Structure 1
Amino acid sequence: MSLAILVGETVGRAVPVVAGVLGAGGVAVAALPARVRMRAELRRRWRTWALAAPLFLGAFWAGPAGAFVLAAGLGAVAVGEYARMAALPRAERAVLWAAAVLLPAAAWAAPDTLDVRVVGGLLLVAALPALFSGDAAHGFTRAARTVFGLLWIPVSLTGLVLLGDTAVAVGVAVAFGDVGAWCGGTALGRRGPLARPLSALSPNKTWAGVLGSAAATASALAAVGAFTPLLWLAVLTGCVLGDLLESMVKREAGVKDAGTWLPGFGGLLDRIDSLLLALLVTMAVTL
């Protein structure tokens, strides 16, 4: 069975699930009374979800070419946000932007060429600008931040192309997991042992949120016919640790959000931080 057919089947199962949840969520958000403190914020988030969901699923409906366009587009924007936070010079930004397009392109056109040699070569290229700049004061920091950005964004997003139908399931499950974490934290994370934060990097992320995310990701994977314990653990790892990873980057950069253009979220990295890590872990355990 071809990859395009498999992806089409997964998208076909995901569309009614996502549409149903968006519809129910839209009704719930619209019915919120004015006294609810987060009403405006929740409405902005719902509108962003309502726009992002068809773009995500529609890209996969178009087949591998659509997955490439999605991965390259997300990568180009996310790399720009990361480069600003990491204060990377122009040469390092160029390396990351090139990787954001070329890696998904290789995954689409010649997936068999992506092996450890390619990854090793990319890591070397990421360090070259700092090596040849003669920057003894900050060269190592520049190289380390570029290598991290390469692994975190372009390599992770290549999974949207390489994973095929699994990428659809991961994307839907991560979206549900983020919502489940918020619901779990709101309902169960006010007091008691479940209110304990996972890390000082993000005090609002509690063990109650982990429980909510675990339930939501499992339900989403089951709904699209893709549940396995290994895939569930990979997605849950991304949902739990992905946000903390971005929080670490933002705290060192001294910023609250990666951007300001995405209503209800901030920047693109604030929306896809969990997806990036989930894709990377999924590739590690399935490919």
Structure 2
Amino acid sequence: MSAGGGFLMGGGFPVGGGFLAGEVAAGRAAAVVAVVLGAGGIAVATLPSRVRMRAELRRRWRTWALAAPVFLGALFLGHGGAFALAAGLGAVAVGEYARMVALPRAERAVLYGAAVAVPALAWAAPGALGLPFLGGLFLVGALAALVSGDAEQGFTRACRTVFGLVWIPVSLSGLVLLGDTALAVGIAVAFGDVGAWCGGTALGRKGPLARPLSPLSPNKTWAGVLGAALATAGALAAVGSFTPVLWATVLVGCVLGDLLESMVKREAGVKDAGTWLPGFGGLLDRVDSLLIALLLTMVVTL
């Protein structure tokens, strides 16, 4: 990753600080989110009692209504807000991940430290986040298992730690590095998740679109992919950020991010990463697509 690379949206960070997203981009994003949340609130409030998922949909809407201002407000505040958002999300997410895969205390400490240190480095010295840095993370992730001399589970511990480092702290550093693009990606991923649910519900019962994407998550169908494709394209267009490349990275993130977390949860034998986030489970259940979308966007734009 290189701070000298051009941002896909041409935004980036103003020299010497300033807002992470331009006033026009932030205002448009806030307006789009407000309209969609308002329409969604009316829709879930008027659902008839016979709708099986009425209570669940209302819980999800309340969570969205609380999370959206936090996400938008943090990015609008600039470098410091983006760092705080990335570090906060990272600390909670690595905790959930470490519990799921039963990492020992030393590896948990590495993940928690990286959850703060990697976004901080992205803020203070973005040019340092290149291949040498990723090589250093690889060694840091394996160090605890190597030092302990664990011949039985050391390789598994090291692999799970290195995976967690890339999946969570490195991906979330995109909130700091991507400038305006991070705002667009976050909104598009949120819309994509809703579009996938709507597409799967409306079109995923019969026919070729009802085929599951993977045994890892049988409820995820090609109808959901179609719904996510339409929703992400619409979201990016609404905030003035649509390009074929950005749309592709967001869509792939929406699809693969969910399957990736399903793979982790299935091996861990859990249904959700946590229980504290109403309507979703844990934080990882909410940001799994965002993590992959941010990572892919950094790969193709920085």
Is the structural similarity TM-score above 0.5?
yes
Question: Deviations for 1:192-232, whole angstroms, at most 9, x for unmatched residues?
Answer: 00000000100110000000000000000011111100000
Correspondence 1:179 to 2:194: yes
Partner of residue 233 from structure 1, selected from 239, 243, 248: 248
CA distance in 2, matches of 1:93, 1:29: 39
How far 1:8 moved relative to its partner?
Answer: 3.1
2:115–2:169 CA contact under 8 A, matched in 1: yes
Q: How far has the Cα of 1:270 moved from its partner?
A: 0.1
The answer to which structure has the higher helix fraction is 1
Query: 3-state SS of the aligned residue for 1:7?
Result: coil
1:221 corresponds, among 236, 239, 264, to: 236
Question: In the alignment, what sits opposite 1:151?
Answer: 166
Q: In structure 1, how many angstroms separate the alpha carbons of the residues matched to 2:134 and 2:263?
A: 24
Deviation at 1:5, TM superposition (A): 4.4
Give the whole-Å Cα distance in 2 for the aligned partners of 1:178 and 1:153.
Answer: 19
Larger relative contact order (C-alpha < 8 A, sep ≥ 6)?
A: 2
What does residue range 1-287 of structure 1 map to in structure 2 within 5 Å? 2-3=13-14, 4-5=18-19, 7-9=21-23, 10-287=25-302
Q: How many residue pairs align between the two structures?
A: 287
In 1, Cα distance between the equivalents of 2:269 and 2:20?
A: 43
Q: Deviations over 1:47-72 (max 9, x none)?
A: 00000000000001111110000000
Superposed CA offset, 1:115-143 (max 9, x none): 11111111101100001111101000000
> How far 1:243 moved relative to its partner?
0.4
CA contact (8 A) 1:8 1:60 kept: no
Deviations 1:143-176 (A, max 9, x none): 0000000010000000000001100000000000
Provide the identity percentage.
Answer: 79
Deviation at 1:6, TM superposition (A): 5.9
Separation in structure 2 between the aligned mates of residue 259 and residue 188 of structure 1, nearest angstrom: 29
Taking only aligned residues, the RMSD between alpha carbons, in angstroms, comes to 0.9
Structure 1 gap segments, 5+ residues each:
none
Runs of 4+ that moved beyond 4 A: none
Cα distance in 2 between the residues matched to 1:151 and 1:169: 22
- Counterpart CA distance in 2 for 1:192 and 1:117 is 48
> How far 1:110 moved relative to its partner?
1.2
